[in-house]
Amino acid sequence: MVSRAGFDNEKYLAEQSAEILNRVDRFGKKLYLEFGGKLLFDYHAARVLPGFDPNVKMRLLQKIRDKSEVLLCIYAGDIERKKVRADFGITYDSDALKLIDDLREWEIEVAAVVITRYENQPSANVFKNKLERRNIRVYTHRYTKGYPTDIDTIVSGEGYGANQYISTTKPIVVVTGPGPGSGKLATCLSQIYHEYHHGVRAGYAKFETFPIWNLPLKHPVNMAYEAATADIRDFNMIDSFHLEAYDEKAVNYNRDVEVFPVLKRIIEKITGERSFYKSPTDMGVNRAGFGIINDDVVRKAATQEIIRRYFRYACEYAMGFVEKETVQRVELLLEELGVNPEDRSVVKPAREAAIEAEKKGKGNDGIFCGAAIELHDGAIITGKNSPLMHAASALVLNAVKYLANIPDAMHLLPSNIMESISHFKKDVLKGKRVSLDLEETLIALSISATVNPAAQMAIEKFKELSGCEVHITHIPTPGDEAGLRKLGVNLTSDPNFATKHLFGS
């Protein structure tokens, strides 16, 4: 797996910051900039655009931080149903708290948090109390009366006027949230309504990385966006408004195109002026396409991301989190590209490792699991489960032994440590499975390193696993998933369960 850069961050930064500042100048005193996607740790972008810095948007904000402040939106319903951000494995409300902390580390303060579509949900109230008791301003906005068709009600005291005005002081107000549907657009428009009532001329623009408007509709990078949003049924389309206005093809996604006529009318109703926006693409300040320096590299990377999304949704379907249609939507994308799940390099080796485990009769509770990792030098290492450890544990130990040139026959974990942990899990914690998951294995390895130089050498190689591709033939247990996430690998798994038990491990 020899990685090549497909994206130039510095070129992108220069293009993007110039575009934002130009948009501020065009509006005059204030710009409400809706940030789509992830503000920090945008791993989707990093995966489909090799070379993309997951925190490049924060670097951009730092460049303009003297002129900007942040509003953080979160949908009350996402708090209530404990929606999870998959790449961190934490709920959206926890992600919002993490984002506030992360922004502070970048010396950027969140001016306020807005809980949108608020209806006194108990969990939302707990979240609100938690923030306010830490001296963070919190506002609640209810569903906008009249939206989306009754413009006169929307732009009135009963609509946006019913929301509290959030006082801001900088010319650029970045409006962000932990995920799609967080109420960012409604917050922007509500604020613009209030700004005009305060005599301040304000405007709206959208900072959206995907889809990339100046790439073809069926470019794998844009198709990867469809795969990423298959659960909310987003799809890309040609922006018909842009085509009519400029005779130029531009790619946008269905919700932006569908809402544009209403959005334009709302803005014109608020401002009392004819909007200079002729298309939803006009509203964007997306210069990501100009940062691509190797189209072949990003095409291949984006295709792999679609395969990863397929496995993720297949597992989520098995666990009851998504509908069958979500999986089928990604299957159609794979068919369009002429690829299949087995075109992911680590899938077949992982499945072969599971078959080998079954032949040797070394599994756990009759389950035979295999795992494979592709290292940065292209080497593929495998592991399989046993009565002593999970497949993910065996895989990671085998990988770091390879990287540290430690002989395969040398044990990194002494038998007395393994037996002690197994005894503790079985006899003290009364667990059904006594084999070590990855988190337990990593702790055991750190203990072993105090007396075993080989274990210490292996630990020093963990950082080289970041960004590697991993596949497991069974849905990882919480301990395996958390361990692999901390190691920074790109994980997929087959939609099989690692235990026959319906509850507990």
HSE-CB at 453 with a 13 A cutoff on CA atoms is 1
377 domain-assigned: yes
Considering the domain architecture, whether residues 413 and 306 belong to the same structural domain is answered as no
> How far is 478 from 468, CA to CA, in rounded Å?
20
Q: How far lies 68's CA from each of 38, 56, 58, 107, 173, in Å?
A: 18, 16, 12, 12, 6
285 domain-assigned: no
281 domain-assigned: no
Considering the domain architecture, whether residues 464 and 451 belong to the same structural domain is answered as yes
Residue 83's domain spans which residues? 9-207
Distance of CA 108 to the CA centre of its chain: 21
Considering the domain architecture, whether residues 337 and 349 belong to the same structural domain is answered as no
Considering the domain architecture, whether residues 38 and 166 belong to the same structural domain is answered as yes
State the pLDDT at residue 26.
85
Helix (H) or strand (E) holding 380: strand 380-384
Considering the domain architecture, whether residues 432 and 335 belong to the same structural domain is answered as no
Torsion angle in degrees (nearest 10) through CA of 271, 274, 280, 283 = -60
Q: How far lies 333's CA from each of 97, 105, 225, 231, 305, in Å?
A: 35, 39, 11, 14, 11
231 domain-assigned: no
Peptide bond into 211 cis (omega under 30): yes
Domain boundary (207, 237, 256) is at 207
499 domain-assigned: no
State the pLDDT at residue 505.
44
Considering the domain architecture, whether residues 151 and 299 belong to the same structural domain is answered as no
Domain boundary (190, 207, 224) is at 207
State the pLDDT at residue 83.
73
Output the domain CATH number for residue 54.
3.10.630.10
| pLDDT per 10-residue tile (average), the chain, 505 residues | 79 91 85 87 93 91 87 91 73 86 88 94 93 94 91 95 93 88 93 94 92 97 96 94 97 94 95 93 94 97 98 95 95 97 98 91 76 97 91 96 92 78 67 79 90 92 96 95 94 88 53
376 domain-assigned: yes
Considering the domain architecture, whether residues 388 and 465 belong to the same structural domain is answered as yes
138 domain-assigned: yes
Pairing of strands 380-384, 370-374: antiparallel
Considering the domain architecture, whether residues 306 and 356 belong to the same structural domain is answered as no
Considering the domain architecture, whether residues 434 and 474 belong to the same structural domain is answered as yes
Output the domain CATH number for residue 390.
3.40.140.40
> How far is 335 from 147, CA to CA, in rounded Å?
38
Domain count, the chain: 3
Considering the domain architecture, whether residues 335 and 350 belong to the same structural domain is answered as no
> How far is 9 from 64, CA to CA, in rounded Å?
16
Considering the domain architecture, whether residues 423 and 337 belong to the same structural domain is answered as no
Domain boundary (141, 172, 207) is at 207
- The distance between the two most distant Cα atoms of the chain, rounded to a whole number of Å, is 77
389 domain-assigned: yes
Considering the domain architecture, whether residues 458 and 425 belong to the same structural domain is answered as yes
